[in-house]
Amino acid sequence: VPAATAQLASRALALLRTWLADQRFATTRLVLLTRNAATDPAAAALAGLVRAAQAEHPGRLAVVDVDSGTTRLDHRVLAGALASGEPHVTVGDDVARAPRFAPLPAADPAAVDLSTGTVLVTGASGALGRLVARHLVDQHGVRDLLIVNRDGEMPELRAELETSGATVEVAACDIAERDQVAALLASRSLRAVVHAAGVLDDGVVESLTDEQLSRVLRPKLAGACYLDEFAGDTTLLVLFSSVAGILGSAGQAAYAAANSALDALAAHRSARGLPARSLAWGPWSTESGMSAGRRRLERAGLAPLSPEEALTLFDVALTRPEPLLAPVHADLAALSSAARDHQVPSIWHGLVGAPARDARRVERDMPARFGQLPEDERDGELLDLVRREVAAVLGYPTPDGLDGELAFSELGFDSLTAVDLRNRLEGATGLRLPAGLVFDHPTAPRLVRFLSAEIGTAAPHTTEPEDTLGALFTQACEQGRIEEGIELAGLAARFRPVFRTADEFGRRPHAVPLSRGAAQPTLLCFPAVVAMSGAHQYARFAAALRDSRRTVVLPEPGFAAGERLPADVAALVEVQARAVLEQADGAPYALLGYSSGGWIAHEVALALAGTDTPPSGVVLLDTYLAREMNPRLNQAFTHGLFARRSDLVATDHVSLTAMGGYFSVFGDWEPRRSPVPTLFLRAADALPDPDGKPLPDCDWGPGWDWCDEDREIPGDHFTIVSEYAESTARTVDAWLGTL
Write the DSSP symbol of residue 494.
T
Nearest-angstrom CA–CA distance, 550 and 542: 9
Task: For domain 498-736, give the CATH superfamily.
Answer: Alpha/Beta hydrolase fold, catalytic domain (3.40.50.1820)
CATH class of 118-333: alpha beta
Q: How confident is the model at residue 147 (pLDDT cuts 50, 70, 90)?
A: very high
pLDDT tens digits along 202-217: 888 888 888 899 999 9
| Res. 551: pLDDT tops 90 | yes
pLDDT in tens, 68-109: 777 777 777 777 777 777 899 998 877 788 899 988 876 665
Query: Within 10 A of 698 (CB to CB), how many other CB atoms are there?
Result: 8
Q: Are 358 and 430 in contact (CB under 8 A)?
A: no
- 430, 366 Cβ separation under 8 angstroms: yes
The 10s digit of each residue's pLDDT in 380-433 is 889 999 998 888 888 777 888 787 777 887 787 877 788 888 888 887 887 878
Q: What's the CATH number for 359-457?
A: 1.10.1200.10
Given a cut of 80, whether residue 469 has pLDDT beyond it is: no
In 549-630, alpha helices (H): 569-584, 597-609
Query: If you average pLDDT over residues 349-374, what whole number do you get?
Result: 59
- pLDDT at residue 295 in the model: 62
Q: What is the pLDDT of residue 287?
A: 59
pLDDT at 465: 42
- What per-residue confidence (pLDDT) applies to 701? 65
Whether 599 contacts 623, CB under 8 Å: yes
> What confidence score (pLDDT) does residue 364 get?
44
100: number of Cβ within 10 Å: 11
For the chain, how are helix, strand and coil distributed in percent, rounded to 5? 45, 15, 40
- Listed as own residue / partner, the contacts of 643-646 with beta carbons closer than 8 Å and 24 or more positions apart are 643/17, 643/209, 643/210, 644/207, 644/209, 644/532, 644/718, 644/722, 645/17, 645/21, 645/206, 645/207, 645/532, 646/204, 646/206, 646/207, 646/415, 646/435, 646/532, 646/536
Beta strands, E only, 125-189: 144-149, 167-172
Contact 36, 184 (CB under 8 A): no
Mean pLDDT throughout 584-589?
94
Rg (CA), the chain: 27
Whether the per-residue pLDDT at 284 is higher than 80: the answer is: yes
User: For 450-459, 628-637, 671-680, which range has the lowest pLDDT when averaged over its residues?
Assistant: 628-637
Residue 520 has a pLDDT of 94
Say yes or no to pLDDT of 378 above 50: yes
Q: Identify residue 652 by its one-letter amino acid code.
A: D
Residue 463: how many other CB atoms lie within 10 Å: 12
Q: How far is CA 260 from the centre of its chain?
A: 18
Instruction: Tell me the C-alpha distance between 548 and 3, whole Å.
Output: 44
- Average the pLDDT over 120-130 and give the result: 91
Per-residue confidence (pLDDT) for residue 639, from 0 to 100: 63
591 touches 517 (CB < 8 A):
no
Nearest-angstrom CA–CA distance, 598 and 413: 25
- Stretch (H or E) spanning 662: helix 653-665
Write down the pTM of the prediction.
0.63
- Average pLDDT in the 278-297 region? 71
Same fold, 2-101 and 498-736: yes
What CATH architecture applies to the domain 2-101?
Answer: 3-Layer(aba) Sandwich (3.40)
The mean pLDDT of 687-691, rounded to a whole number, is: 68
> What confidence tens digit (pLDDT) does each residue in 615-662 have?
999 999 999 887 776 666 766 776 666 555 544 445 678 888 899 999
Residue ranges covered by each domain of the chain: 2-101, 118-333, 359-457, 498-736
Instruction: Inform me whether the pLDDT recorded for 547 exceeds 90.
Output: no
Q: Report how far apart, in Å, the C-alpha atoms of 154 and of each of 139, 388, 474 are.
A: 21, 46, 51
Answer yes or no: is pLDDT of 194 > 90.
Answer: yes
What confidence score (pLDDT) does residue 301 get?
Answer: 74
- Residue 718 contacts residue 640 (beta carbons within 8 Å): yes
Q: What is the Cβ-side half-sphere exposure of residue 455, based on CA atoms within 13 angstroms?
A: 28
